[in-house]
Amino acid sequence: MTMLSRVAERLYWMARYLERAEDTARLTQAYTHLIMDIPKGSEPGWDILVRILDAESTYGNHYRVFNEPNVLKFLMADLDNIGSIRASIVAARENVRTTRDVLPGEVWEHVNELYLYAQEEAEKSVGRRNRHHFLEQVSTRCQMINGLIISTLCRDHAYRFIKLGHLLERADMTTRIIDVGAGALLGDERNHPLVDPLIWAALLQSLSAMGTYRRTIGPLVEADSVVDFVFRESTLPRSVRFCLNGIRTELAPLKNNEEALRILERSRRRLSRFRVEESSREELHAFIDRFQTGLTDLSDIVTATWFQPHPS
């Protein structure tokens, strides 16, 4: 099967933006619950959500302080923040609109409904009264769209580029959550270690992995076990290893995949060698920094190989 590079690129970014909207909704939901559950005086700051998304610069251009209303508006409704839920849905819709001929008709209908819902409800849902319902709706609708794609689309190049975008975005968000979340929430300066299990549980909730963790590892939520689980559990759909294995599967049938596979295998080896129980917080941060660089390199080579025109 042949496919226009611009169509492949739009499918890839459609998947990335849908995954970004869902992941941001899950993260915001889990963090809101954490803030309400944690003892007064030991709660972390709202700036952590902005740092996880590496959006401090964009945030600083529009807001002066890191408080709950500002951060939640920035993450949920601000169209100037390309990582916000609303902006991600807008971008996903535009990519679906221009590739409707290679997608099931229902995908456009549901993405458009999600867009209309976000346009109407995002601003009104920044406050606590409506926030839970809005975030739950975004997560549920994104899952429904992904399920529709998985259950109806032929396993051709369209499907492969959708999966590449989906898995790359998910791996990126998982590593960001562990890096910034663990580093900022569990820093050496913290004086409330008794609430640490609540924090690690919130991180698992943001990755939809709490129930699976308890069934696979056990009831005790501990730092090393959580990090190792979300990095290396090969059967967990949101783990980094699962994402990398899935990317390899989708790259294999594509032509000119040598460079992309080389970068991917380097990341897989790096992940298999890392031992969280033998690493300090600083070493964990350094490892994730290198790993993030590898994901960026992989995204760049996917763009250069399949989306950019090559001289004939």
One-letter amino acid at 273 equals R
pLDDT at 187: 53
Measured torsion, CA atoms of residues 120, 121, 126, 129, in degrees rounded to the nearest 10: 140
State the Cα–Cα distance between residues 117 and 251, nearest whole angstrom.
34
pLDDT at 270: 94
Backbone CA torsion sign across 255, 235, 24, 275? negative
Output the CA–CA distances (angstroms, integers) from residue 242 to 105, 223, 230, in the order listed. Answer: 29, 20, 9
What count of other Cβ atoms lies within 10 Å of the Cβ of residue 151?
8
State the Cα–Cα distance between residues 312 and 308, nearest whole angstrom.
12
Sorted by where each begins, the domain ranges of the chain are 5-307
- Is-above-0.85 flag for pTM? yes
Instruction: Name 43's Cβ contacts closer than 8 Å, sequence gap at least 6.
Output: 34, 35
State the Cα–Cα distance between residues 87 and 21, nearest whole angstrom.
8
In this structure, are residues 202 and 230 in contact, taking their beta carbons and an 8 Å threshold?
A: no
Reading the block at residue 225, the tokens are: 């076990």
In this structure, are residues 25 and 135 in contact, taking their beta carbons and an 8 Å threshold?
A: yes
List own/partner pairs for 133-140 with CB under 8 A and 24 or more apart.
134/76, 135/25, 135/26, 135/28, 135/29, 135/32, 135/76, 135/85, 136/25, 136/29, 138/21, 138/22, 138/25, 138/85, 138/89, 138/114, 139/22, 139/25, 139/26, 139/29
pLDDT in 10s for each residue of the chain, 312 residues: 567 899 999 999 999 999 999 999 999 999 898 888 777 766 678 998 998 888 999 999 999 999 999 999 999 999 999 999 999 999 999 999 999 999 999 999 999 999 999 999 999 999 989 999 999 999 999 999 999 999 999 999 999 999 999 999 999 999 988 887 666 555 544 545 667 788 888 889 888 899 999 999 999 888 889 999 999 999 999 999 999 999 999 999 999 999 999 999 999 999 999 998 888 878 888 899 999 999 999 999 999 999 986 654
In this structure, are residues 18 and 168 in contact, taking their beta carbons and an 8 Å threshold?
A: no
Nearest alpha carbon to residue 171 among 298, 275, 14, 274: 298
Output the CA–CA distances (angstroms, integers) from residue 309 to 32, 49, 66, 163, 312, in the order listed. Answer: 44, 37, 43, 22, 9
What count of other Cβ atoms lies within 10 Å of the Cβ of residue 122?
22
